[in-house]
């Protein structure tokens, strides 16, 4: 998946400890897994974790396959995601259908509840910390909407929402925390 102008922003650096207990870089490069949807955008997963206490010597790569909208049960996920502007002239019913099909491919067809305000309206069951990195975008809610600028952060608390990009793709960084992790 390639998004011109975002190459420098889409780099993951993961740290850990070496055999001597010294901090080191264990991963430096591209996303661990990604999925693109033409005309909609894509998910680029960085890291996920569910396997217990933090151990910097454990270099086991996070299992990011298959790409899934939701964080793992009892865990968290960090990802970039890209939202593309809606293609001009495409009827709402076609965009709604394409969006539902895309959500099904990343195991989240149950997240689409009401597409009245936007094709990508979906409800997650996680607490998401989301920062707009590049581009121009809006957060759409059932009864509200706000325009975002790079550096703005949204705390998305399990509500029905959508993202709309204006004038070109918008790149976000998200930390998705499963509600079960928050309750423990």
The residue extents of the domains of the chain are 32-183
Q: What span, in angstroms and rounded, lies between the C-alpha atoms of 76 and 3?
A: 25
pLDDT in tens, 143-181: 999 999 999 999 999 999 999 999 999 999 999 999 877
Specify the fold of 32-183. Jelly Rolls (2.60.120)
pLDDT in tens, 84-106: 998 889 999 999 999 999 999 98
Q: Tell me the whole-structure pTM to 2 decimals.
A: 0.89
DSSP code of residue 53: S
pLDDT of residue 132: 98
How far is the first Cα of the chain from the last one, in angstroms, to the nearest whole number? Answer: 36
């Amino acid at each position: 998946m390639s998004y011109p102008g975002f190459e420098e922003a889409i780099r993951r650096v993961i740290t850990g400890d070496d055999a001597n207990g010294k901090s080191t870089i264990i991963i430096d490069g591209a996303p661990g897994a990604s999925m693109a949807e033409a005309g909609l955008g894509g998910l680029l997963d960085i890291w996920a974790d569910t396997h217990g206490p933090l151990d910097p010597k454990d270099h086991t790569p996070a299992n990011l396959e298959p790409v899934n909208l939701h964080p793992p049960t009892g865990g968290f996920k960090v990802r970039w995601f890209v939202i593309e502007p809606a293609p001009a002239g495409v009827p709402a019913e076609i965009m709604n259908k394409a969006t539902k099909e895309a959500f099904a491919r990343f195991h989240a067809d149950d997240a689409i509840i009401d597409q009245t305000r936007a094709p990508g309206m979906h409800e997650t069951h996680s607490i998401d910390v989301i920062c707009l990195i590049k581009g121009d975008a809006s957060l759409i809610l059932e009864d509200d909407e706000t325009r975002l600028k790079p550096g703005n952060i949204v705390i998305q608390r399990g509500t029905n929402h959508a993202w709309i990009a204006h004038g070109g793709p918008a790149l976000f960084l998200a930390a998705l925390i499963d509600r079960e992790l928050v309750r423990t």
